[in-house]
């Protein structure tokens, strides 16, 4: 997707504060953090929303959760706790249409979310 900002970050065309990467997944700090730790876990491959997931994406989505666990340990928030969120479509607040798992931590998280 040539006009996708997260594809451009994955391709190295736009800078980002990348804290983890492998052949499938990239993790970088959110430009507008909502918590002391706020990172985005994305697949390198463009998938617009959770609604676009296919059965063959199961391993990739599972891997994103395992990466979240690793990054939480790396960021020192694994024990105190953190929140992971996928926003799907505009009604849930999705603004970038390349799936991303938010990981937020470093402060108490309220429930229910806004
Ligand atoms: P959404 O609202 O789609 O769930 O989340 C998109 C997130 O991407 C927002 O938290 C926003 O701050 C972040 N974001 C948007 N553009 C950029 C960018 O160019 N770089 C980084 N690092 N984060 C971005
Ligand atoms: Zn993309």
What are the pLDDT digits (tens) for 45-97? Answer: 999 999 999 999 999 999 999 999 999 999 999 999 999 999 999 999 999 99
Is residue 68 within 8 Å of 30, Cβ to Cβ?
Answer: no
Q: Which of 6, 90, 96 to mutate to test the pocket of ligand 1 (most atoms within 8 A of CB)?
A: 96
Residue 55: CA count within 13 A, CB half-sphere: 0
Question: Distance (Å, rounded) from C-alpha 41 to C-alpha 25?
Answer: 7
Q: Is the CB of 31 under 6 A from ligand 1?
A: yes
**Residue 2 confidence (pLDDT):** 78
Mean pLDDT of the chain: 97
38, 46, 98, 100: the catalytic one is 100
Q: Is the CB of 2 under 6 A from ligand 1?
A: no
Residue with tokens 């994955």, as numbered in its chain: 10
Question: Distance (Å, rounded) from C-alpha 17 to C-alpha 113?
Answer: 26
Structure tokens that stand for 2 in this block: 């040539």
């Amino acid at each position: 997707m040539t006009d996708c900002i997260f594809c451009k970050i994955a391709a190295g065309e736009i800078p980002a504060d990348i804290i983890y990467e492998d052949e499938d997944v990239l993790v970088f700090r959110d430009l507008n953090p909502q918590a002391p730790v706020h990172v985005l876990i994305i697949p390198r491959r463009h998938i617009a929303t959770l609604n676009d997931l296919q059965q063959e994406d199961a391993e990739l989505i599972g891997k994103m959760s395992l990466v979240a666990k690793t990054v939480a340990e790396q960021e020192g928030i694994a024990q105190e706790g953190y929140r992971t969120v996928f926003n799907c479509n505009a009604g849930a607040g999705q603004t970038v249409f390349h799936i991303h798992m938010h990981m937020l931590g470093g402060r108490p998280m309220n429930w229910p979310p806004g």
